[in-house]
Amino acid sequence: MVMSVPWPSKKTFAHLHADCFQLWKALEEEAMTEPRPERCCCGGLYTEHGGASTLVCPEGQRALCEECISKGGRICPTHKVLLRS
């Protein structure tokens, strides 16, 4: 990303920090809305981790792999929240 603000700028470093923070949040939200149904919250492929379980993580909005279920029971090992059926 190229900023077209001449140096020295009237913008303070606090404003630049705020702009960068807003950009980061927008990119983070965009990345989180991309569905990745083939992956568990841990990032592993279902096919490599025993398949998808019937339990869903409300934070990651996806089913957990069987390996995570065996580790965490009814709690998502990645997000540390209770799972839904």
Q: What is the pLDDT of residues 29-85, one digit of tens each?
A: 655 555 556 899 999 999 999 999 999 999 988 999 999 999 878 899 999 999 998
CA atoms of 34 and 47, how far apart (whole Å)? 20
Q: Is residue 28 part of a domain?
A: yes
Q: Is residue 17 part of a domain?
A: yes
Do residues 58 and 81 lie in contact, with contact meaning Cβ atoms separated by under 8 Å?
Answer: yes
**How many domains does the structure of the chain reveal?**
1
- Residue 39's closest CA among 17, 63, 12? 63
Q: Is residue 54 part of a domain?
A: yes
* Consecutive H or E run containing 39: none
Confidence of residue 21 (pLDDT cuts 50, 70, 90): confident
Q: Is residue 80 part of a domain?
A: no
Q: Is residue 49 part of a domain?
A: yes
> Which residue range(s) make up the domain with 45?
13-72
Q: Is residue 41 part of a domain?
A: yes
Q: Is residue 81 part of a domain?
A: no
Do residues 32 and 59 lie in contact, with contact meaning Cβ atoms separated by under 8 Å?
Answer: no
Q: Is residue 7 part of a domain?
A: no
